[in-house]
Structure 1
Amino acid sequence: MGEKPAGSATVMKRALVLVEGYTEERFVKDVLQEHFWTLNLSLTPTLLVTKTVKDGADFRGGVTTFKKFANDVRRLLQGAGDALVTTCLDYDGLPVDFPGMATRPADKAGAHVAQIEQAIAAHFADPRFLPYLAFHEFEALLFASPDELPKAMTDMSKQAQFQAIRESYPTPEDIDEVNWPSKRIVSLFRAYRKALHGPLVAKRIGLERLRAECPHFAAWISKLEDFARQ
């Protein structure tokens, strides 16, 4: 297949990733960046300017209003040039004024997130914008392996309980807001700290396993790959 002519320069594409906090920022840098660098796509995480401060295990969501979120998105789009702008935000705790929230199905089905992502994308109507919402929150990804979090917490005595939670759901992403993934983790591992252990465990699990276990997350990664290969 077509090889690049001798001496031709590889063009590095860019994607700006709007994230809620330090955990997601480290996740982009430590877990995603290495993979996408091989596809000539550079990911740059950008913290929300307008967000609530995360504090404690019961915190739900970093976005305060859709208007403030929209300001952040437009700010990135205005300076993005031909770069892609995407998001890595939690669905849980999302303000009710977001597009699609008022009309989401009442059955709490997984289709909620895709519907809301589509509504957000339609609001901006910019082909450079790709919203992604973690369903339900970042910690769901950590259930993709039954071993890595207990190892990181140096408490393998809780491994069976941790694995039992995972096996109670079709995928890690189905662990829902009735008892959020983060609350389930803290109930087993009181020393768990999101910003410290979250990115570390996700890196140990590895992108391949995360994609295999978490289909909604995997779909986002595939879309980023499609952009890189265009």
Structure 2
Amino acid sequence: MIRVNILVEGQTEETFVRDVLIPAYSSAGIFFTAILAETSPGHKGGIVNYGKTKRQLVRLCQRDQSAYVTTMIDYYGLPTDFPGINDSAISNEVNIQTRMELLESALELDVNQNNFIANYLLHEFEALLFCQPDKFETWLDNAPVSDLERVRAEFPTPEHINNSPQTSPSKRIMAMAPHYKKVLHGPMIAGDIGLENIRQQCPHFNHWLERIEALAVNN
């Protein structure tokens, strides 16, 4: 049995872990627990700065060293004090998958805990929903499926949908479907798309799950 605590950025990711990851992996002996990031005492959800995030990660790793700790944190909007963000060699890396691996390695090095596995979502959770835009029809009236499919067709993978306040995945969805509610609709649409479909189209997300699956093989 492998236990994995996931520090998640918000309620959307928390629900995704509960409704999609946990059912998919419990039969394989991998048990996930989502833990909402703390912004201040008594308040949870959101990544404010690296100092607070690092303290939570180290505390989680040290509190239960028989479990693993990982993250579901958006690369979009990531605070600039996170390890590697201001490293020109990393920020100038054109291949986005390589850039993420370098940033995650920098985070793992700085957290410095043997049971920690860094993971960023490229570029944010809503990118996963572009794997199959027609699933929006189930949950949204007048879902702009053709517009969403047009966006998806512009990029090699959903994870390439870019990183700016106007063109990030969530901003594109909200511009086309103002009635989209992140916490309510996001996990349900992702669940309908299915984990295997998401993994096939999102190589960075898939690599993260492969790292976790390897834990069960090696233990």
TM-score (norm 2): 0.91
Amino acid at match of 1:96: T
CA distance in 2, matches of 1:208, 1:27: 14
For structure 1, the residue ranges without an aligned partner over 5 or more in a row are 1-11, 55-61
Deviation at 1:112, TM superposition (A): 2.3
The verdict on how the C-alpha distance between 1:53 and 1:155 changes in structure 2, with shifts beyond 3 A counting, is farther
- Within the candidate set 74, 78, 83, 2:67 is matched to 83
1:47 maps to a residue whose letter is L
* Larger helix fraction of residues: 2
Find the counterpart in structure 1 of residue 150 from structure 2: 164
**How far did 1:83 drift?**
0.6
Sequence identity of aligned pairs in percent? 37
Aligned equivalent of 2:34, options 35, 45, 58 = 45
1:130 pairs, out of 109, 117, 120, with: 117
Residues 2-41 of structure 1, C-alpha deviation per residue, up to 9 Å, x if partnerless?
xxxxxxxxxx321000001110000001111111101101
Alignment counterpart, residue 24 of structure 2, candidates 35, 39, 44: 35
1:202 correspondence with 2:217: no
2: distance between equivalents of 1:153 and 1:99? 38
Q: Indicate the RMSD between aligned Cα atoms, in angstroms.
A: 1.6
| 2:70–2:118 Cα contact (<8 Å) kept | yes
The gaps in structure 2 that reach 5 residues or longer are: none
Structure 1 residue matching 2:133: 3-state secondary structure: coil
Offset from partner CA, 1:145-196 (integer Å, 9 cap, x none): 031023321325x211110100000000000113110011011111001000
How many aligned positions are there?
A: 211
For 1:58, the equivalent position in structure 2 comes to none
Q: Residue deviations 1:34-56, cap 9 Å, x none?
A: 111011011000011226877xx
Q: How does 1:170-189 map to 2 (within 5 A)?
A: 170-178=156-164, 179-189=167-177
Question: Could you tell me which residue of structure 2 aligns to residue 152 of structure 1?
Answer: 139
Matches of 1:166 and 1:193, distance apart in 2: 20
Tell me which residue corresponds to 1:25. 14
Task: Give the Cα separation in 2 of the matches to 1:86 and 1:53.
Answer: 17
The CA deviation at 1:108 is 5.5
Deviation of 1:216 after TM superposition, in Å, equals 0.4
